[in-house]
């Protein structure tokens, strides 16, 4: 209804749609990077943000300006006033604002990340050239369902009739749903691990290096600055999406793929914000699967004497699952909460859930206090890991990057 009142600004734009539980933002950012290197003007719509909500809408490396937010919100407000009692949510308003902004700037492509699920997500009014589904795991179960099949059905809601869907490797239960929806809608399924094969060559605290055999040939010695094995999966999905554009008459060269992979950046995801004395990394691991990936990546990629975990989580997350993966790798723990969200879990409550009780646990009431506490404990050879809520990660990043 809102888009219709605005003249359907999303219609007629070349777009790519990304859903999934983990890696949506990273995958969308890699896709944007490759297309930018190819010479296209590319809009990117993601959520949530780290510091400013304007980060959610960008063209190239530039986030939407305050002036453009105000100008387009004025247009949206007029449409909202015509909707009577059917008032849109914040996310719906901001999605409509993105549609208007991208149309106004006459961009070549728009890459949209779903906010939640897919089938009923506000972004799902677009008609993309390619849909992508990143790894599916348990999150937002109170809304999306309590099984992988139910969650996958919501994510697969972005698959379009006679379309193209590129999927990351999935658990059998989730893959069956995606496969069935593609068959029902006559959509071509391109699967990483079957149609797209990659092999990691090396991994360090600076970059991941891998080979990939895609739909139209091989890409050797790709260098990815986004750290972690899971980021190679995201890059493989992104390359699959870009390769699939050939089926729509849009060709992206091998060199653009190589340079786009290497230049891709996505803050707050296994991001090294201080390299030494002590080293500090940020990662928004918000469910058990992401925490598991984070734990594996930290142990594989980084060398340190002690690990100090700074953790804050929201009440609606799988806190026990996150703790199960991260507590074992921590030598000491500093608990905190974001000042930005009401649903932040109280640090004392998190402490009650931590086992074994012999762990060294400190409780703080702000991200700044938590960082100060962690720094006071750390030696130059230690590693501080800030994780859990992306809001905590965003607050930490604002403090640390400003001080570097």
3-state secondary structure of 114: coil
What are the structure tokens assigned to 400, written together?
Answer: 């640390």
Of the residues 234, 263, 292, which one is the last residue of a structural domain?
Answer: 263
User: Residues with Cβ < 8 Å from 396, sequence gap 6 or more?
Assistant: 273, 282, 310, 367, 370, 371, 386
Q: Taking each helix axis as running N to C, give the angle between helix 90-104 and helix 66-81, from 0 to 180 degrees, rounded to the nearest 10.
A: 120
Are 78 and 183 members of one domain?
A: yes
Query: pLDDT digits over 100-154, tens only?
Result: 999 999 999 999 999 999 999 999 999 999 999 999 998 888 889 989 999 999 9
Sheet harboring 197-203: ordered strands across?
A: 197-203, 208-214, 217-224
When divided into structural domains, the chain yields a total of 2
- For residue 319, pLDDT beyond 60: yes
User: Residues with Cβ < 8 Å from 61, sequence gap 6 or more?
Assistant: none
Are 316 and 363 members of one domain?
A: yes
Rounded to two decimals, the pTM is 0.94
Looking at residue 237, its pLDDT comes to 98
pLDDT band at 39 (very low <50, low <70, confident <90, very high): very high
Are 292 and 183 members of one domain?
A: no
Looking at residue 404, its pLDDT comes to 54
pLDDT band at 28 (very low <50, low <70, confident <90, very high): very high
Whichever domain contains 48, its CATH number is: 3.40.1190.10
Rounded average pLDDT over 313-342: 93
Query: pLDDT digits over 68-104, tens only?
Result: 999 999 999 999 999 998 899 999 999 999 999 999 9
Name the one residue in this structure whose structure tokens are 């999306």. 144
Looking at residue 115, its pLDDT comes to 96
Q: Mean pLDDT, the chain, as a whole number?
A: 95
Of the residues 209, 228, 263, which one is the last residue of a structural domain?
Answer: 263
Rounded average pLDDT over 221-230: 96
- For residue 369, pLDDT beyond 70: yes
Range of the structural domain that residue 84 is part of = 2-263
Are 238 and 289 members of one domain?
A: no
- For residue 403, pLDDT beyond 90: no
Q: Tell me if 27 sits within 8 A of 133, measured CB to CB.
A: no
């Amino acid at each position: 209804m809102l888009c219709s009142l605005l003249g359907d600004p999303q219609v007629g734009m070349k777009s790519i749609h990304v859903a999934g539980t983990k890696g949506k933002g990273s995958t969308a950012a890699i896709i944007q990077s490759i297309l930018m290197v190819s010479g296209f003007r590319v809009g990117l719509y993601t959520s949530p943000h780290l510091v400013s909500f304007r980060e959610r809408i960008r063209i190239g490396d530039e986030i939407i300006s305050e002036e453009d937010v105000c100008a387009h919100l004025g247009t949206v407000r007029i449409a909202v006033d015509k909707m009577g009692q059917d008032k849109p949510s914040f996310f719906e308003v901001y999605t409509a604002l993105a549609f208007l902004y991208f149309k106004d700037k006459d961009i070549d492509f728009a890459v949209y990340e779903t906010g939640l699920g897919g089938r009923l997500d506000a972004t799902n009014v677009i008609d993309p050239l390619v849909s992508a589904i990143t790894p599916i795991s348990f999150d937002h179960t109170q809304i999306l369902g309590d099984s992988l099949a139910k969650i996958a059905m919501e994510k697969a809601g972005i698959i379009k009739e006679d379309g193209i869907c590129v999927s990351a490797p999935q658990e059998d239960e989730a893959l069956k749903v995606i496969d069935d929806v593609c068959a029902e809608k006559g959509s071509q399924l391109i699967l990483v691990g079957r149609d797209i094969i990659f092999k990691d060559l090396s991994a360090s605290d600076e970059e991941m290096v891998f080979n990939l055999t895609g739909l139209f040939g091989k890409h050797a010695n790709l260098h990815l600055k986004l750290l972690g094995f899971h980021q190679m999966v995201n890059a493989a999905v992104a390359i699959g999406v870009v390769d699939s554009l050939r089926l729509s008459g849009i060709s992206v060269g091998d060199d653009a793929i190589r340079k786009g992979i290497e230049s891709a950046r996505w803050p707050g995801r296994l991001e090294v914000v201080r390299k030494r004395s002590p080293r500090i990394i940020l990662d928004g691991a918000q469910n058990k699967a992401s925490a598991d990936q984070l734990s594996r990546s930290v142990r594989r990629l980084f060398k340190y004497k002690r690990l100090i975990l700074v953790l804050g989580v929201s009440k609606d997350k799988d806190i026990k699952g996150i703790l199960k993966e991260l507590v074992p790798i921590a030598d000491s723990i500093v608990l905190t909460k974001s000042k930005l969200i009401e649903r932040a879990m109280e640090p004392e409550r998190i402490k009650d859930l931590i086992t074994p009780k012999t762990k060294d646990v400190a409780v703080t009431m702000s991200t700044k206090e938590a960082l100060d506490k962690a720094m006071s404990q750390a030696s130059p050879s230690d590693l501080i890991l800030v994780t859990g809520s992306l809001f905590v990660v965003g607050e930490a990043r604002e403090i640390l990057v400003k001080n570097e």
